[in-house]
Amino acid sequence: MSRVAATVVTDRDLLGRALRNLVQNAINYTEVGTIAITSEFDRTHVRIRITDTGRGIAPEHLERVFDEFFQVGNPGRRREGGVGLGLSIVRSIDRLLGLDISITSQLGVGTQFTLRLPRARAQVETPAVEHGDEFMTKDDATGGLGLRVWILDDDESVRNALSDRLEVWECVSSAVATEGELSALKANEGIWPDVLIVDDMLGGTRSGLDVARACASHFDRARIIVMTGARVPERLSAIREAGFELMCKPVNPNELHARLREISRAHV
């Protein structure tokens, strides 16, 4: 069996989680009506749309739907809809993968979320292997890395998303939000991990680069990855000149896996 399809380079598991959260959100807001998942592509991008015919969202709430714990004050919404973390997790995955999410909605008509992913340059017929209710290609398989990885990021949903990805790669991860928690983790574990991933923009008085420099006095800086969403050339240069691996958000999962694999091989 073969298929001709538009191919994107992304993280299958995190993209799947984002789509599941968007579908669950549509279910929560659609008491009666329909929910559709559609896709289309052109020469450069693939667009995935989740559309419902539910109650819709008022214009003044559109900017806040991705905030943690925010739930639109809808008296008809199902109680099992959760505590309002689903879309905030989607936003964090968007930051990691660059899904370019947009939303349109109209009260009484419904809501549509659109994910826009860059299309891979080479589009080929891909042999598909049936796997449960899904199809997997050879490119979906990545070998287990077996690394101990610590994550420092003040965004909980980003920590969770990275931890989920690392678990798929058979890594043991611990994730913390502050430098103090990182110090407590070191005291508790007694040894450093194989890899330390630090977000540069921690929101406190010290940046992730400051923390990475402090850790480098006790830890091989070649095994420290500094992530940043900044696009200021001077900041990017400062991270590189400090000798740390730099990864810009949204982090390319293939690049992250490749770097972790290099560290794994050097660690053996």
Looking at beta carbons, which pairs linking 46-49 to residues 24 or more positions away fall under 8 Å?
46/6, 46/8, 46/116, 46/117, 46/118, 46/119, 47/114, 47/115, 47/116, 47/117, 48/19, 48/114, 48/115, 48/117, 49/112, 49/113, 49/114, 49/115
Domain with CATH 3.30.565.10 in the chain: 2-118
Cα separations in angstroms, 218 against 125, 193, 238: 49, 11, 20
pLDDT at residue 83, as a whole number: 36
Domain with CATH 3.40.50.2300 in the chain: 142-267
The Cα diameter of the chain in Å comes to 60
State if pTM tops 0.85.
no
φ/ψ of residue 42, rounded to 5? -120, -155
pLDDT at residue 14, as a whole number: 81
pLDDT at residue 68, as a whole number: 53
Domain 142-267 has CATH 3.40.50.300: no
Architecture of domain 2-118: 2-Layer Sandwich (3.30)
Q: Give the integer Cα–Cα distance in Å for 89 and 22.
A: 10
Element spanning 263, H or E:
helix 253-267
pLDDT 10s digit of each residue in the chain, 268 long?
Answer: 444 577 887 887 788 888 988 998 889 888 889 999 999 998 889 999 999 999 888 888 877 777 654 555 543 334 344 334 568 778 878 877 888 899 999 988 999 999 999 887 755 444 433 333 332 233 333 457 889 999 999 888 788 888 888 888 889 999 999 999 999 999 999 999 999 999 998 877 889 999 999 999 888 889 999 998 877 888 899 999 999 999 987 777 888 899 999 988 876 5
Handedness of CA 20, 22, 27, 32 (dihedral sign): negative
Structure tokens, 13: 């598991």
